[in-house]
Structure 1
């Protein structure tokens, strides 16, 4: 299935400066794996060392939070859109808008 993954501004520097990437995947897990295979630097920003999505990273499938669907096992279909949304917390910002957790 051809799926569009929206890359948030703070993470674009790790995805070849692209705002979106098209991947072929049957599940959210496959889509994120494909994305991080293409752009290895993204892996540490999206996943913990044991391979789980970081707690401050939210993933939406067509505007629905995957935590309320089937999480990473949520099935995908052609033309679905996955959005990666890192939580930004605190009152101080870094130059360039990068989040502290993403560093």
Structure 2
């Protein structure tokens, strides 16, 4: 059963963004943006957002918070699924805060 979940997640990344389904995040106070990023966004934004993958590098992005918020909410046709119905505004703000705090790995 675990392998089925892993394989379906891997295949979801290979599908066009418009065909991907976002998994709802818990809507409680225990929201871990780093963990969410690793399990949801990390399929396309490599190394926790520190490197480009199927999606762009997010560390040191020149995009402003409003742009990031809009992209997370509404996605980009054919490139990124929309997460506006998956994450609350507060959770999206936590994801943006995570992106802003990204630093290169030391060592």
Calculate the TM-score normalised by the size of structure 2: 0.29
Greater per-residue strand proportion: 1
**Higher RCO, 1 or 2 (CA under 8 Å, sep at least 6)?**
1
**Higher helix fraction: Structure 1 or Structure 2?**
2
Q: Normalized against structure 1, the TM-score is what?
A: 0.30
